Amino acid sequence: MTIFEKIIARQIPAQIVAESDEWIAFHDISAQAPVHVLIVPKRVIPRVGEAHSMDGGVLGALLIASQQVAKKLGVFETGYRLVINNGRDAGETVPHLHVHLLGGRELGWPPG
């Protein structure tokens, strides 16, 4: 069971921002920006590179959820970045698909 599954099951605490039947959003404990939230599907998809066409609804729900979360945290108007890591070289540390929502400051480009 991944740390995200334990958060979803309420076995470990998290600062939950928003939630639906399909996803949960909570603050990242290793924040890289003033606003750094993870939006995680409740159904386990190990990584975006392993998603299937049947996962399209969940993937779309994560992106739509980002709007709700960004509005709630006050970064919708100023701007925010969405990041999905896929694999070790990309910085993936938990094998459970998740979207990073970062904002609250100017974000440089290129990242990393």
Task: Report, as residue numbers or ranges, the catalytic residues.
Answer: 98
Q: Please answer whether residues 35 and 78 qualify as being in contact, where contact means their C-beta atoms are separated by less than 8 angstroms.
A: no
Question: 91 and 85 in contact (C-beta within 8 Å)?
Answer: yes
Return the beta strands (E) in the chain as ranges.
16-19, 23-27, 35-41, 80-83, 99-103
